[in-house]
Amino acid sequence: MSDTWFEDRTYRHTDWTPERLLDLKRQRGLTVSLVVPARNEEATVGGIVSRVRAALVERTPLLDEVVVMDSDSTDGTGRAAARAGATVHRTVDVRPDLGHRRGKGEAMWKSQFVTSGDIIVFLDADLVEWDTHFVSALLGPLLTEPGVGLVKGFYDRLLDLPGGARVSHEGGRVTELVARPTLALRWPALSGVVQPLSGEWAIRRDLFGQLSVPTGYGVELAVLIDTHLRCGVRAVAQVDLGRRAHRHQSLRGLGAMATELLAIADRRCGIEHGGDVAIRWFDTSDGHGRPRTGTVSTVERPPAAGVGPERSRVLGGAVGR
């Protein structure tokens, strides 16, 4: 790890008030977009949007837009988000000329075509324990340190255990067993990043637009590694956000996520596994045992800055001529 990176680039959310951040944002003449990628988050997305809007649009207008990217939801996610005051885009409807892929990274990549802020802040839609400083505090290093391009949130996790909640000072299962070991071995300058997979992060639009974006869960690890490779570790900062709780995936789901992260990391070391990686398991849930096969997509979208305007718009008047 770079000698002084941790000390120089680690902040606490209490370092800034929203009012101070608003002053800084106005002085710098910057705009900010909040993007919430959401797949089947009807239960939580409305409350998240309402709280963010009340605190950071109405009370202290730090956010210029609040956008929910509805990522192939089959429940009422889009309706709940719109009712709460978000601008909602279905990922599949954004730039249909570029095709459609499933996944969180796809929703985040496509958000670049429907937002305009100089800074984009991402927030997960499945949070159950969180506060609005999860959004505002991520702006602190971007508004105060000219060299910073990417800010990751970190936190203690609140785990629901029988008999009550417990605070864990560790990262999640994939974080501790895959992401942080991978960084320690291959990109040790990033080994001080406490929560490399956190879904709460902020990035300058001009930097995000230069990066290729995995369509699935590899987006966080890829953006972190690529920011470091492109701009150096000092372009990365992290902010302690306090405590966070979210919905947990099954271990098998996390196995798929881990497979994708390893493939994304391998690609950055010159090892290519192709677009879809096959995974196999033995399913005994029906009382018989059956081999099952699935695939994990490791596809990446190209840097958005290099993607031209929508074809129908380019053709413009030519259509129908």
Ligand X SMILES: O=C(O)[C@H](O)COP(=O)(O)O
**Is the separation of the CB atoms in 99 and 131 below 8 Å?**
no
Q: Should residue 33 be labelled a site residue for ligand X when binding is judged by CB under 6 A?
A: no
Q: At how many degrees (to 10) do helices 219-231 and 104-111 cross?
A: 50
Regarding 103 and contact with ligand X (CB under 6 A), the answer is: no
> Counting contacts by CB under 6 A, is residue 55 touching ligand UPG?
no
Asked if 157 contacts 172 with a C-beta cutoff of 8 angstroms, the reply is yes
Minimal distance in Å, beta carbon 283 to ligand UPG?
A: 21
Question: Does the protein bind ligand X through residue 175 (CB under 6 A)?
Answer: yes
Q: Which stretch binds ligand X (CB under 6 A): 40-48, 95-103, 123-131, 170-178?
A: 170-178
Do 37 and 69 form a contact (C-beta atoms < 8 A)? yes
Residues near 120 by Cβ (< 8 Å), separated by ≥ 6? 32, 33, 34, 35, 111, 112, 202, 203, 205, 208
Q: Which of residues 262-321 bind ligand UPG (CB under 6 A)?
A: none
Q: In this chain, which of 100, 102, 243, 268 binds ligand UPG, going by CB under 6 A?
A: 102
Which residue's CB is nearer to ligand X, number 155 or number 187? 155
Of the pair 20, 246, the CB lying nearest ligand X is at 246
* Residue 152 near ligand X by CB under 6 A: no
The listed partner (ligand UPG, ligand X, none) that binds 204, CB under 5 to 8 Å by sort, is: none
Binding partner selected for residue 171 from ligand X, ligand UPG, none, CB under the kind-specific 5 to 8 Å limit: ligand X
In 48-149, the DSSP E strands lie at 65-70, 87-90, 119-122, 127-129
**DSSP type of residue 246:** E
Q: Does 104 bind ligand UPG (CB under 6 A)?
A: yes
Residue 243 is a binding residue for ligand X (CB under 6 A) = no
Alpha-carbon distance 143 to 152, whole Å? 14
Q: Round to whole Å and give the CA distance between 200 and 95.
A: 25
Minimal distance in Å, beta carbon 112 to ligand UPG? 15
Binding partner of residue 157 among ligand X, ligand UPG, none, CB cut-off 5 to 8 Å per kind? ligand X
Which CB sits closer to ligand X, 150 or 174?
174
Give whichever of 107 and 236 is closer to ligand UPG, judged by the CB atom. Answer: 107
- CA-nearest of 301, 285, 282 to 293 is 282
C-alpha 60/C-alpha 56 separation (Å) is: 5
CA distance 43 to 40: 8
The only residue of 20, 248, 268, 273 in contact with ligand X, by rule CB under 6 A: 248
Tokens (6 digits) for 239? 């902010």
> Under the criterion CB under 6 A, does residue 173 sit at the interface with ligand UPG?
no
Rounded-to-5 percentages of helix, strand, coil across the chain: 40, 25, 35
- Write out the residues near ligand UPG by the rule CB under 6 A: 37-39, 41, 71, 102-104, 107, 124-126, 197, 199, 217, 220, 246-247, 249, 257
Contacts with ligand X, residue ranges (CB under 6 A):
157, 171-175, 197, 248, 254
